[in-house]
Each structure stands twice: as structure tokens, then as C-alpha cells.
Structure 1
Amino acid sequence: MMRAVQVTGYHDKLQMSEVPDPTPSGPLDVVVKIGGAGVCRTDLHILEGQWAEKSQVQLPYTIGHENAGWVHAVGDAVTNVAVGDPVILHPLVTCGLCRACRFGDDVHCENSRFPGIDTDGGYADYLLTNARSVVKLDPSLEPAAVAALADAGLTAYHAAAKAARALHPGDFCVMIGAGGLGHIGVQVMRAISAATLVVVDRNPDALALAAEIGADQTVLADGDHVEKVLEITGGKGAEAVIDFVGEGGATAEGVAMLRRAGNYYVVGYGENISVPTIDIVSTEINIIGNLVGSYNDLVELMALAARGKVKLHTSTYALDDFQTAIDDLDHGRVRGRAILIP
């Protein structure tokens, strides 16, 4: 039997349970001993019941979708990793056979499972995944230090890499929010793009960190920030806006910071976007959704991490202290990402 932190009811507190250890039953199954599990704002949304209808998950179940550790057991057809290997887990367990997987777009796999969302996740001693989901870590990387890169980092990388493909030297990229995801997005953009990076946040400490890790300019969200961004961009707005907030008025401000034919990348969520269709047509702006990144995105992100280009700022908690970690996240007391360590 192993420990597992489970959702037993929506709007109730998480409960520590004893559940059977997972074992490989399929030929490509991989059981991972958890070395670190990231605590994400989505976990708070799960407890609020926001994902109940979408995930259709049966309660009780174990949450935790940002996971890294060591291979503990494998099915008899697994050849890409061996017992003892340090690994980070792509958050989805994918089939490899559908059209999306064949394109390398495994985020949209037609037969996927999502540990921590619609099946048992990593707030536990062990987790069941498959061979398609494990990325072997460089020996310089510790599972607990990179665990949150599996979702928060991967989501930030996916959006930043998508934006970077359309950006050129001399262009402007504005990032709204420099917290758990945003501080990773800043490092990624600095590593892969020559665009001028402007970071907007209401927290002066977050802006100080952003400047330290690669932002060219920072703007305090104090009510005049849209005008300040327009001033920085010569009155034209930015070619790309990456919004890691997506609520509290950020979407209207993000669109207002955009230049003609610019791209607005939505990552954070919580409010509706309201833009007159004539404004979209007349300026040819694009509003682009961003989910988590693909397996290949995770491989690329791990390459940046191994080279020291992306570092995760973490606060660690013992697995038994899960409630403290959840409360700290909920009340804004976590710098970077909270990590549970069994």
C-alpha cells in the first residue's frame, strides 16, 4: 500500500489515503516512484469542482499533474527507459496511433488519459504512466527541481515557442504575469528569441525577478500600464502578447497592447474575452489558445534546463504537508512553484 492525496468530494479538503501500489499491466506501462509533484492552481480549480463536468472523473481519485521521479517498474515492451532512470513525465498518457499523435500533436490525442485530472495523479508515492510519456533526465537535473516543468513549464514553453516562431529581432513581445508560469516563460523567450521582452505584473517582486532572469523592460500594472507598453512600442503595440493571467481585466488590456496583425496568446484563464468583431477584422489580430505542450516541447524544455537556460524557483513541502502547500498557494505565499516531495 502507498500514500495518496485524494479528492473525496468537491468543495471539501483533500484527504490522505492508503491505496494499492500501481503495477504495470500493459506492455508499455511505466510505474514511477515520485520524486516531486508540483502544486498547481488547476488543483485549486479541481477542488472547486470546475473540472468535474469536463473530466468526468470518478471520486475519490489522486490529483497531481506535474510529476518527476525515478522509473520503478516497466512493462515487458518498454525499451526507452530502465528501472532507476530519473524521468520527468509528460502530463498526458497518449496512444501514439491516432492522427494527432502521428502529427506529434499528442496534446490532442483522441485516446489520452490525464493523470491528476481524469485519472490518478502524482500526489502519491508512485504513479502509473506509459513509455510514451517519460522523458529521461540529464544527470545534472534532480526530479524535485524540475517536476513543475512538466506542466507549468511545459505550458509556458509551448506558448513562448509558438510566439517565438513568428517573432523577429526588433519585434516586441509583452508577457502579462511573471509568476509560476510567467517566470519560466521569460527564461524560455530569452533563450530562443531575439525579440524585445516587456514583462507586466502588479507585483514589484515578480518584476524584479523578471528583470534578473531576462526581461528587457518591466512595467508595473498600476493602472497606466497599457499606456506605458504603447509608449515603449512606439505607439504601435506589440507583435506578440502572451497572457499568463487571463482574468481580472487582463484580456482587455492584453488586446489593447497588441499592434495591427499581432498575436494574442491566451494561457491563463478565468474570464471571457470580449472584442468587437469589427476590431478583429479591421486590425487582423489573432487570438490563440494555448494548452500544455507536446512531448517534443518537453524534450526541448529539458534541453534548455540541462544547459542552465531555464531554472525553476521552487518551495518544497513534504507530501504529508499537502494542505499547507495548497493553503500557501491559495493565499499567494508561494514564490515560484510549490513542490510536494514524498
Structure 2
Amino acid sequence: MKALRYSTVGQPPTIENIPVPEPVGGQVLLKVLAAGACHSDEFVMSQPVEVLGALGIGLPLTLGHEGVGEVAALGPAATGVEIGDQLAVFGGWGCGRCHTCATGAEQYCERAATLGIRPPGLGNQGSMAEYLLVDDARHLVPLDGLDPVIAAPLTDAALTPYHAIKPVLPKLVPGSTAVVIGVGGLGHLAIQLLRALSDCQVVALDIGADKLAFAKEMGAHHAFTSDDSAIEAVREVTGGKMATAVFDIVGIQPTCTLASRMVHFQSEIVVVGVGDGAVPVGFFTLPYNTVVRAPYWGTIPELHEVLALARSGTISVETETFALDDAATVYERMHARTLRGRAVVVPA
């Protein structure tokens, strides 16, 4: 089968022919229908070999942790799905047995690192291939009529901001303001989720007139350039109150610093992006009782909820599709910031 493989540190991924995996035990083999491309893939390909080793990521690696497929084969112990079922893949694989996994939050599994369990495309072989081997049927969620191209990005680009936003919802009452920094694959869905789930004012920050216009299309009440001028802009549109929550979808130091200057007492800063930035926490660094979090991915129950939101038309994903043979160009486009929403690779 064809697969997009990252094989050499510092070199771009290439299409390679590798054997089709055979499911054993409770594994499920999917024929991939769609696979989303994410900045986390770019993050992996930017790391030196020693960091990859520390993260448990070996090369060569088939990329892709946003996957949707049709069941093609079942291991002898696999149950709960049938040949031909169309399913979305929950990527935050855990042991399935610890207390945390029992809540559905397998992305925070207490034993995954010890057991060497890694997500597809981020340690295990991923979905940018003609076939994907899923370790257990419990990680598969029915599409129930959703278009696979739309569903694939929902498994991360929607699930991750949904998981980040849900705990803050009690604070996002009428009169409050949420700021979203970064209007790309995750950010454009974060804006929609905030509009759908709360009555807060939504402010989007990014660079470039095209991204700011995109933010307004997605429902942002205001869109400003992501630099120091945004601080006074947010102060003005909030009547001096500043933001109740800031969702930093980028996560580099300039955006983390910007986030820390936009909040008020008892606010929340949620660092979602996989960057190298940090928000200092101390008595004199932030307004009193400000919460700073760095959540990861989302839970299995939340993926069911996200798919339901898409099914109802409450949220939608801006996608651009690519053939598997052209998949490597996705990351060139991503690096050049010329993708409007989410890039989706369609192997067939």
C-alpha cells in the first residue's frame, strides 16, 4: 500500500510502498477514506532525533493522526464493529484499564508511556496511507452519515478546542469575552464552538487580512492583528474589562505573552498550540486567581459530542482535499500559511 512516510530527520516526507498490515487480537484494519493534516505533524518533523526518541517516536513513521475509514478486516478477537462500517478514529490511545481511561480520557492515560502506547501518526503508524491499523474497536466512533472528508478533521481540529473550551463555559456568560489567537484548522472551529456553546463576545487574533476576514466569516465579533496593538483593541471592545478566557491556538512565546496581557481577575488562559511558549504563573505575574491550562486533545465521549454537533450543522469544517500522491505538498502549504482551514488527504 502507499503511505506518506517521514523517514529521515530534516528531510520532507515521501510516498512509499509498504505492506498492508494484518489485524491480530482485537485490532481493526480500516481502509482509509480521509486523513487530516495537522501542525502537530509539522512539529514532529521539526524535532531532532534525540527529542523524537524521548517522545517515543521512531522512524520511519507514517504520518496522520486524524483518520476516518471503512472496516476492511478484523482481528479474531475484535468485536463491536463490522466489515464495511464507516468510523472516525479517536487518536488519544491509552491502556483502557486505568482509572483515567475508564472516564474516556485515554489521552491522559496513566500507563501509556510505561507501556509504550502511542497515538497513530505520533508514534504508531498513522492514517496518511491506504490502510490504518487501529489497536482496539473502542477507539472507533460511527460516522452515522457524516462525510468522511468533514469527519476526519473533527477528530482533532474540532475535538481539541472543544475539550479546551468546555471547562470554561460556566464563565463565558453574557457580557464576557473570549479571545482566540490563531485562525487556522483549530482556530476556525474554536470560534464556531464558542459562538454555538456560549453567549460571550468572541475576538479573534491572527496576522494577515485574509485570516482576519476568515475569522469574521466563522462568526468572530471582532478580528484584530495579533501584535501588541491587540491589547488596546481588546480593552476597547470589552469596555476595559479585558478577556474572561484566552485560547492560544499557536502556543509560541509571543502569543503566550500576548495572552497574559489580555486577562482580568479570575480569567483563564488555555494554551492549546504545540509551541515552545510558556505563561509564567506567580503572585505578581497575572491578575489574581487566573487559571493557566495546557490541555491535550479530547476524550472519547467528547468526540461523540463533536460529531453530533457537525451532524446537526452547528459547526462546519473548511477543508481543502489532496490526493495521497500529493500529500507531501500539504506541509509545504501549511508552512507557507496558504491553507484556509484544514487540509484533508483522500487516498482513493
TM-score, with normalisation over the residues of structure 1?
0.93
Q: Which runs of 5+ in 1 are unaligned?
A: none
Residue in structure 1 matched with residue 219 of structure 2 by the alignment: 214
Look up the equivalent residue of 2:197 and give its one-letter code. Answer: I
Q: Which runs of 5+ in 2 are unaligned?
A: none
Cα distance change, pair 165–31 in 1 and its aligned pair in 2 (3 A) = farther
Cα distance change, pair 134–197 in 1 and its aligned pair in 2 (3 A) = same
Q: Equivalent residue of 2:72, what SS?
A: strand
Look up the equivalent residue of 1:136 and give its one-letter code. Answer: P
Cα distance change, pair 82–157 in 1 and its aligned pair in 2 (3 A) = same
- What is the rounded CA distance, in whole Å, between the counterparts of 1:168 and 1:54 in structure 2? 42
Residue in structure 1 matched with residue 166 of structure 2 by the alignment: 161
Asked whether the equivalents of residues 202 and 220 of structure 1 are also in contact (C-alpha less than 8 Å), the reply is yes
Following superposition, which runs of at least 4 residues in structure 1 exceed 6 angstroms of deviation? none
What do the CA deviations read for 1:109-150 (whole angstroms, capped 9, x no partner)? 2234311011111111001112111110021x1112221121
Look up the equivalent residue of 2:330 and give its one-letter code. Answer: A
Look up the equivalent residue of 2:300 and give its one-letter code. Answer: Y
- What is the rounded CA distance, in whole Å, between the counterparts of 1:328 and 1:104 in structure 2? 34
Q: Equivalent residue of 1:270, what SS?
A: coil
1:134 is the counterpart of 2:140: yes
Look up the equivalent residue of 1:116 and give its one-letter code. Answer: G
What do the CA deviations read for 1:275-310 (whole angstroms, capped 9, x no partner)? 362225761211111210111111110000001111
Of the candidates 336, 341, 345, which is equivalent to residue 336 of structure 1?
341
- What is the rounded CA distance, in whole Å, between the counterparts of 2:243 and 2:80 in structure 1? 42
Look up the equivalent residue of 2:252 and give its one-letter code. Answer: E
Residue in structure 1 matched with residue 81 of structure 2 by the alignment: 81
Residue in structure 2 matched with residue 36 of structure 1 by the alignment: 34
1:249 is the counterpart of 2:254: yes
Asked whether the equivalents of residues 36 and 341 of structure 1 are also in contact (C-alpha less than 8 Å), the reply is yes
Asked whether the equivalents of residues 280 and 286 of structure 1 are also in contact (C-alpha less than 8 Å), the reply is no
- What is the rounded CA distance, in whole Å, between the counterparts of 2:314 and 2:78 in structure 1? 31
Look up the equivalent residue of 2:98 and give its one-letter code. Answer: C
* More moved, 301-310 vs 219-228: 219-228
1:305 is the counterpart of 2:310: yes
Of the candidates 190, 193, 196, which is equivalent to residue 185 of structure 1?
190
Of the candidates 282, 290, 297, which is equivalent to residue 277 of structure 1?
282
What do the CA deviations read for 1:296-335 (whole angstroms, capped 9, x no partner)? 1111100000011111111111101122212111111211
Residue in structure 1 matched with residue 16 of structure 2 by the alignment: 17
Look up the equivalent residue of 1:253 and give its one-letter code. Answer: L
Of the candidates 230, 234, 259, which is equivalent to residue 225 of structure 1?
230
Q: Equivalent residue of 1:277, what SS?
A: coil
Residue in structure 1 matched with residue 60 of structure 2 by the alignment: 60
Look up the equivalent residue of 1:286 and give its one-letter code. Answer: V
Asked whether the equivalents of residues 5 and 15 of structure 2 are also in contact (C-alpha less than 8 Å), the reply is yes
Q: Post-superposition shift, 1:68?
A: 0.8
- What is the rounded CA distance, in whole Å, between the counterparts of 1:219 and 1:330 in structure 2? 22
Asked whether the equivalents of residues 113 and 119 of structure 1 are also in contact (C-alpha less than 8 Å), the reply is yes
Look up the equivalent residue of 1:44 and give its one-letter code. Answer: E
- What is the rounded CA distance, in whole Å, between the counterparts of 1:74 and 1:166 in structure 2? 45
Q: Equivalent residue of 1:207, what SS?
A: helix
Look up the equivalent residue of 1:88 and give its one-letter code. Answer: A
Look up the equivalent residue of 1:43 and give its one-letter code. Answer: D
What do the CA deviations read for 1:6-60 (whole angstroms, capped 9, x no partner)? 121110121222211122201x211111111111112122122255033223322
What do the CA deviations read for 1:48-85 (whole angstroms, capped 9, x no partner)? 22550332233222111111121112234444321111
Instruction: Provide the alpha-carbon RMSD of the alignment.
Output: 1.8
Look up the equivalent residue of 2:299 and give its one-letter code. Answer: S
What do the CA deviations read for 1:218-247 (whole angstroms, capped 9, x no partner)? 223354111110122221211111111222
- What is the rounded CA distance, in whole Å, between the counterparts of 2:121 and 2:181 in structure 1? 27
- What is the rounded CA distance, in whole Å, between the counterparts of 2:75 and 2:194 in structure 1? 38
1:115 is the counterpart of 2:120: yes
Look up the equivalent residue of 2:13 and give its one-letter code. Answer: L
Asked whether the equivalents of residues 264 and 286 of structure 1 are also in contact (C-alpha less than 8 Å), the reply is yes
Q: Equivalent residue of 1:324, what SS?
A: helix
Of the candidates 172, 179, 187, which is equivalent to residue 174 of structure 1?
179
Q: Equivalent residue of 1:283, what SS?
A: coil
